[in-house]
Structure 1
Amino acid sequence: MLEIKKYAAIDIGSNAIRLLIANVIEETGKETQFRKSSLVRVPIRLGADAFVSGVISEENTQRMINAMEAFKLLMDINNVEKYKACATSAMREATNGKEIAEKILEQTGVKIDIIGGKKEAAIISSTDLSQLIEGDASYLYVDVGGGSTEFTIFSKGRIINSKSFKMGTVRLINNSKAENKIIFKEVQKWIEDNTKHLKKLALIGSGGNINKLFKMSGRTLGKPISYIYLNAQYQFLKNMSYADRISELSLNPDRADVIIPATKIYLSAMKWSGARKIFVPKIGLADGIIKSLYFKKL
């Protein structure tokens, strides 16, 4: 017997807000499958407000309300039976984050959960990471967002340690060089201390920027990107102007700037951990929300 359900996830990040609608396919005697049906991404850069002024502006508040109303209509059209909306570092750090969440609930009926870094990492790790982390190998999972980066170390199929750092792409663009230097040193120490005893470690990368870099590489899904390739791509992107990254590489305007600090984070994590390759399974918070909803972990 085959049954198909529709689940949705709303990921309210520091650089963009996403609605993922997925088909949950249940078939007797088979493992449940989760297939992406549609993904809508709206570039509302909440982090530019939250990490600079500490509050989300009225303009972006209204854009969020409009986005939630649109997402609710899209979920209705698609007959979505369950959904969850989660907000990360920008809403978490904005002094008016909770107030905005209440306003959105009142005006649109969409309830937003503002989650911490550890919960964010736990939701993401409930995705298809198991296909990569099986066996005796060790991995450093790096999820780069606009406001924070989540690091999780896996060895022999188990989580060894995890930590969330305020080192996101939007934050790095808005911070001073001195502030960025401090956070990079802090992350370097944590990675080196927690990976020095692990051999043949590889990275697993998630986030919109590494997905874009993987797509640009032309590699087959499942094949890793090397440190040498990623470093060459970083130098190439860094030497291009913002306008050229948009016109010549067809990057979205809200991707063309953050892809530089994102690539630097992945490269730094590879260097500090000794990893020579990075796997990009195309998973993220929205995928984790849907799986957590299905398995009743949220």
Structure 2
Amino acid sequence: MKNIHKLAAIDIGSNAVRLLITSIRINKTDTIFKKISLVRVPLRLGEDVFSKGKISEKKLKKLQKTLKAFKILMQMHEVYMFKVVATSAMREAKNSTKIIEDIFKKLNIKIDLISGKKEALMIANVFLNNMENLTNNYLYVDVGGGSTELNLISKNKIVNTKSFKIGTVRTLNNITKDISWHNFKKWIENNSKLYKNIVVIGSGGNANKILKISKKNINEVISINELEEINSLVKSMSFKDRIFKLQLNADRADVIIPAINIYLNSLKYSKSKSFIVPRIGLADGVIRHIHLNNNEGQLLR
């Protein structure tokens, strides 16, 4: 692989499909990752899957058009290698195998259907690689449209990880099961009781919007009281006001409320008072993964 090259990651999520293009610069002492382009298309595949069990023909056509456009963008940026991953919605769709096969035949794009555990580890490893000499204990909470991935981190190591079928799109459609919330609560309580002064890390598009609303810097602490104030502010606003006053996209203005609720519950169950947002997500994890494991990336042709 060249000392300077471009890698790309496509994350097919339950709420949106994202393309991240990153420049990788390698010298004798360091590797520098620089984001070049991030494109997001709000397909909401989870709306179909979580209510009907499969992805509709209409959504499939949109997905194919999105991936075709992303491939052109990667070619224009002269991307060397890329990887496409699909998460909760595709994991649960009854027709996912056929969709993956059809997209490969039509577009020559391979889709890796990753497990919730692999998703969680990919995300947390980016944080660990970006931070040095971590002194706190952390609960990494990545909230997606269909699932929430948890990683407990102590002494620079991931000590436990778990994925739950609790997500923003799933919650909006009132199909998150009570047992999922119960297991979520118990997992956090049981795994965090051995660790003191836990800091909750928020990951995902909603966490980034919370950071913007808070007017804090990346990795600057947002207290649980401040997060509760943000929650009250957002819930007090109409859908229209969230779009115009908070400058949220229409597909973000509804899901941000269940997302904040998940983050707040994570803080309460872990007895944490501090919340930080590093502005990293699954696509970043995929970029780092194919950088370290070339055999798992797909050459762009």
Which bracket does the TM-score occupy, shorter chain normalised?
Answer: over 0.9
SS at 2:216's partner residue? coil
Q: Which residue is 2:193 aligned to?
A: 196
| Residues 242-251 or 131-140, more deviating | 131-140
- Matching residue of 2:263: 266
Find the counterpart in structure 1 of residue 14 from structure 2: 14
Do the aligned residues in 1 keep the contact of 2:15 with 2:145 (CA within 8 Å)?
yes
Asked if 1:54 is matched to 2:44, the reply is: no
Q: CA deviation at 1:130?
A: 3.8
1:33-52 equivalent positions in 2, closer than 5 A = 33-52=32-51
After superposition, where does 1:194-233 map in structure 2 within 5 Å?
194-233=191-230
For 1:23-172, list aligned pairs within 5 A.
23-27=23-27, 29-132=28-131, 134-172=133-171
SS of equivalent residue, structure 1 residue 6: strand
Asked whether the 8 Å contact 2:21–2:36 carries over to 1, the reply is yes
**Which of 235, 251, 262 is the equivalent residue of 2:232?**
235
Spell out structure 1 runs of 4+ moving beyond 6 A.
none
CA distance in 2, matches of 1:187, 1:198: 17
What's the RMSD between the two structures over aligned residues? 1.5
The Cα shift of 1:131 comes to: 4.3
1:220 and 1:122 mapped to 2: Cα distance?
A: 25
The verdict on how the C-alpha distance between 1:135 and 1:67 changes in structure 2, with shifts beyond 3 A counting, is closer
* 1:27-73 Cα deviation digits (max 9, x unpaired): 2x221011100000000000000000001010100000000110000
Gaps of 5+ in 2: 297-301
Distance across 2 between alignment mates of 1:76 and 1:183? 42
Supply the distance in 2 between the matched residues of 1:252 and 1:210 (Cα, whole angstroms): 14
- Output the CA distance in 2 between the equivalents of 1:94 and 1:183: 19
Residues 159-188 of structure 1 deviation map (CA, whole Å, 9 limit, x = unaligned): 111100000100111125xx5543222211
Which residue does 1:276 correspond to in 2?
273
Query: 3-state SS of the aligned residue for 2:126?
Result: coil
Letter in 2 for 1:285: L
CA–CA distance in structure 1, aligned partners of residues 14 and 130 of structure 2? 29
Q: Conserved in 1, the CA contact under 8 Å of 2:10 and 2:283?
A: yes
Q: How many residues align?
A: 294
Between the two proteins, what is the percent identity of the paired residues? Answer: 48
Residue aligning to 1:5: 5
Deviations 1:209-258 (A, max 9, x none): 00111012111223121111111100111111112211222210100000
Opposite residue 91 of structure 2, the aligned amino acid is R
SS in 2 for 1:125: helix
Given residue 46 of structure 1, which amino acid in structure 2 is its aligned partner? L
Classify the secondary structure of the residue corresponding to 2:159. strand
List gaps (5 residues or longer) in structure 1: none
Contact 1:126 1:292 in 2 (8 A): no
